[in-house]
Amino acid sequence: MIRSLREALGLTQAELGERLGVTNITVYRWEAGMVGPNAGAVKQLEKLRRAAGRRGVVIPAA
């Protein structure tokens, strides 16, 4: 879901990380399934997903 959201928004791992206050390495680890995002990041990701949906951005299923 994270990679799909990031790609649908046209963001790099570094750009998404900057928006969420984490490094690009952290985003890579989330996308690779090495670790999961913390509760705060999950909330921020959900806000991004909802905002993207309101703008008509199609987010493909992971």
What pLDDT, in 10s, does the model give residues 1-10?
A: 899 999 999 9
The CATH number for 9's domain is 1.10.260.40
Q: Specify the DSSP element, H or E, that contains 2.
A: helix 2-8
Given a cut of 70, whether residue 62 has pLDDT beyond it is no
Q: Is residue 27 part of a domain?
A: yes
pLDDT at residue 60 is higher than 80: no
User: Following DSSP, what letter does each residue of 17-56 receive, concatenated?
Assistant: HHHHTS-HHHHHHHHHTSS---HHHHHHHHHHHHHHHHTT
Residue 41 lies in a domain: yes
What pLDDT is attached to residue 44? Answer: 95
Task: Render pLDDT for 4-38 as a digit per residue (tens, 0 to 9).
Answer: 999 999 999 999 999 999 999 999 999 999 999 99
pLDDT band (50, 70, 90) for residue 61: low
Structural domain for 15, as ranges: 2-54
Q: Domain for residue 28, yes or no?
A: yes
Number of domains making up the chain? 1
